[in-house]
Structure 1
Amino acid sequence: MSSSSEPLNPLAIAKLLGPSNPKLDHLVRFLNSVRGTDKVLMFIQYWSKVVVWWLQRRGRVSGAATRILNLSSPVSDFRILLRYYGLLPMVQYMNYLEYHPPSSRLALTIERIQNWCNIIYYPLEHIYWLGAHQVLPISEQKTNKIGMWSCRFWAAYVVLEYGRLAEQYRLLRQRETNLLKRIKAGDIATEEDPEVEMATIKTERQSIVVNTCINSGYLPLTVHWSLEKSSFPDVLVGVCGGFASIFQIYAAWKAEA
């Protein structure tokens, strides 16, 4: 009798996944990465605000909304803790950028300024969190001021990102136009593969669209948190952050493929 006809042992139910499961492997890689974990938590953090608003709007203020709020707060704290060593990869990228600069001088300048915005943003956010949790002896007023300034540098980064994406798109269009002209003229080197190059251009264009969507979700949040007094409702914080989280998860998932 073949092994396939043997009854399945309930203790071996994982066998149903098969000898190889690429989707499961992909999911494990995604969740094992700091980026993947952060983006899933980001999704929970922001969409929970929308769910709480919906429950309260329907008059269900009791248990469910309170429990969701009780989950959202530690999730937010954990995401900040995940960023506590964010300066190290930032310094690493700053070093990489100087030795592998983009083809455009404008793009290089924008990225340099963005990096310095982050170099200031990260420590301010860390000090804010430590002050808010009374780890550092900082008054509430000063803690809120530090948090506001950290968000202002984040807002500067987000605004600059539109410029970087616009320049990236301009260079991409230029590459695409030049490639199409060379294909039409038959001016293609033997080692070149125009189909591969066009596929690369298509992938980069998709990346620009995704990053523009992410940035557009972040922009109203950074402006809101940069102001001393803002009337931006919490439900819209959830919608904007949740919108960005969807594209962040997509980008992180593709990166771990």
Structure 2
Amino acid sequence: MAQPPKAITLARLSDPILGAFAHVQPSETLDHLVRYLGTWSGSELRCFTSNLTVESDVVLYSKLFMVIQYAVKLIVPLLQLRARLQHRAGLRQTPTSRSAEAYAKLGDLISDGRTLWRIWGLLPIFQWLISLERNPPATRNLLTIERLQGWSMLAYYPLEHLWYLLSYGIIPSTVTSPLSLFSSKIKKVKLDANRLGMWSCRFWALYVVLHFAHLVEDRKILQQRQCMMKKAKGTGLTQTEKQELRQRWDAFWSEVVINVGYLPLTIHWSLEQGLFKNEAWLGVFGLIAAVASFRTGWKATALPAPPPTVLEATEESEKQAAGYDVSTNQSP
């Protein structure tokens, strides 16, 4: 007797479509290239998530440049306002600020450089998606979210590269359509740099929204881990376990702040009319994301804390044996 066909579920569709990179074998050449391009002798790699690569010197410097870029976006309107007020008071001949113009040029230069350095951004995304299928995250929901994030970046980077190259006239704005291969007539396609940039940011916005869903799952896992550790330790957590939990929660809230900063930016750049009339808000939210991102990188590259001395470890063991709650520093 023939068995009835299995129902089509999201999980069954997710594996063959979103999980297509399961059929791509890991490449030592790709891994080596990503490692090289993540050093000063290579170039910058923009890491959207800590799942991609470890923090490197060049990524930290990129985050420092990001802080400077968005700080400048706040300084420029303040200098312009000061110039106008001084002009009205008769303290300045013109209502413009040469300093503001210079800072604006610096911000544009840094923004342009950071975009150029991201030209290799697709490589770590391929590396991440290949690794994801062989080392999946803790839950099925996280696997689906990270797959979608990876595919959103596969759309984001090429569109950003096309926008960048078009805006500088490096590639022509009219190209031959691939459909011309199947036709006797040559068809031309006009590339609109503004629309390419806008669609690029829409895929970035999708990544950020998905990352909020990722953080919801992360919070559940962290809470479960914390409860299990406390139940397993009837006398309280050790200093090492407490430190581990603090680091995990610190990383979690850092990611929340970073994405709170990124979300308005991605929405603004995804809309034809933008989200903010006053672009100073771009500086505010960009600086929030930049500072939180730099802080995360700074902590990730810090030297590990020295292990407890033999005396400290012995004292802690004796306290636990006596029923002393080391998590709250209270005696029984």
* Pairwise TM-score range, normalised by the shorter structure: 0.7 to 0.9
Q: Within 1, Cα distance between the matches of 2:205 and 2:275?
A: 17
Shift of 1:195: 4.0
Structure 1 contact 179–194 (Cα < 8 Å) conserved = no
Distance 1:249 1:82 in 2: 17
CA deviation vs aligned residue, 1:67-124 (integer Å, no higher than 9, x gap): 0111111110110111111111111111222222111110111011001101110111
Q: Share of identical aligned residues, percent?
A: 40
Structure 2 gap ranges (5+): 1-54, 85-95, 175-189, 303-332
User: CA–CA distance in 2 between the matches of 1:117 and 1:136?
Assistant: 24
Does 1:173 pair with 2:173? no
The separation in 2 between residues aligned to 1:147 and 1:84, in whole angstroms, is 14
Q: What is the Cα-based RMSD across aligned positions, in Å?
A: 2.0
Q: Does the 8 A contact of 1:48 with 1:72 survive in 2?
A: yes
Deviation at 1:231, TM superposition (A): 4.8
- Which amino acid in the other structure matches residue 118 of structure 2? R
Q: Which moved more, 1:113-122 or 1:193-202?
A: 193-202
What is the one-letter code of the residue matched to 2:158?
P
For 2:146 and 2:211, the matched residues in 1 are separated by: 8
Which residue of 2 is the match for residue 48 of structure 1? 72
TM-score after normalising by structure 1: 0.81
In the alignment, which of 294, 298, 312 is matched to residue 253 of structure 1?
298
- CA distance in 1 between counterparts of 2:56 and 2:218 reads 30
Task: Report the equivalent of 2:271.
Answer: 227
Whose relative contact order is higher, 1 or 2, with alpha carbons under 8 Å and at least 6 apart?
1
Partner of 1:65: 100
Partner of 1:150: 200
Distance (whole Å) between structure 2 residues aligned to residue 62 and residue 199 of structure 1? 49
On the 8 A contact 2:66/2:290 being kept in 1, the answer is yes
From the CA coordinates, give the structure whose radius of gyration is larger: 2
Q: Partner of 1:84: helix, strand, or coil?
A: helix
The residue number in structure 1 matching 2:124 is 89
Please say if 1:214 is aligned against 2:258. Answer: yes
- On the 8 A contact 1:176/1:198 being kept in 2, the answer is no
Q: Which amino acid aligns with 1:176?
A: Q
Question: How far apart are the structure 1 equivalents of 2:115 and 2:63?
Answer: 12
Report 1:123-162 matches (<5 A): 123-138=158-173, 142-162=192-212
Deviations 1:114-167 (A, max 9, x none): 011011101110110001111111279710000000000000000011110110
Q: Please give the alpha-carbon distance, in whole angstroms, between the structure 1 residues aligned to 2:271 and 2:113.
A: 24
CA contact (8 A) 1:118 1:154 kept: yes
Unaligned runs of 5+ in 1: 1-30, 187-192
Letter in 2 for 1:211: E
Of Structure 1 and Structure 2, the greater helix share is in 1
What stretches of structure 1 move > 3 A for 4+ residues in a row? none
Aligned length: 221
Letter in 1 for 2:120: Y
TM-score by length of 2: 0.63
Letter of the structure 1 residue corresponding to residue 248 of structure 2 = E
